Each structure stands twice: as C-alpha cells, then as structure tokens.
Amino acid sequence: MLSSVLNSDKAIRVNIAIMRAFVAVRQFALTNKELAEKIARLEKKYNRQFKDVYEALNLLLDEKQNEKDWKERKRIGF
C-alpha cells in the first residue's frame, strides 16, 4: 500500500513488482486448476481400464510397507 502512495522511482518499481507477482500467482493458480481438472477427467475416463494396474501397484506398496514394518519391529529375546 505504501509503495502505491509514495512518489519515488523506487516506490513505483516496487509497486510494479508487487502487481506482477499477483498476476503470476493468479496465472499459476488458474494453470494448476486446469491441470487438476484434466487429470481428474483422465482418471475418471481410464479408471476402469487401469483398475487392475492400480490394484497391483497398491499391493506392491503394501507389501513393501509390511516388509519395512517387519524389519523395524521391536525385537524381544535374543
């Protein structure tokens, strides 16, 4: 706010930089929104076709987690 009130070259440059930053943030948000919507549409369209692939990947991830849990368990005895 202060940079828009002051009348110096530096204040003007700062004000322009602030406006450009807001524009960049807005464009970034819109781009990510569009990307998220496209990914959601693709998942909805191809989800049935890749259901087996998703199940296999989840099984592998669960198996690795189980191995990690088994190795990091609290041991008793010797």
Six token digits for residue 68: 């990690």
pTM for the structure as a whole: 0.40
Domain ranges (residues) in the chain: 2-71
What b/e readout covers 12-35, taking b as 16+ CB neighbours within 10 angstroms?
Answer: eeebeeeeeeeeeeeeeeeeeeee
Confidence (pLDDT) at 33: 76
Please write the tens of the pLDDT for every residue from 16-58: 888 888 888 778 777 777 777 876 787 777 776 677 777 777 7
Round to whole Å and give the CA distance between 66 and 22.
46
Round to whole Å and give the CA distance between 6 and 22.
20
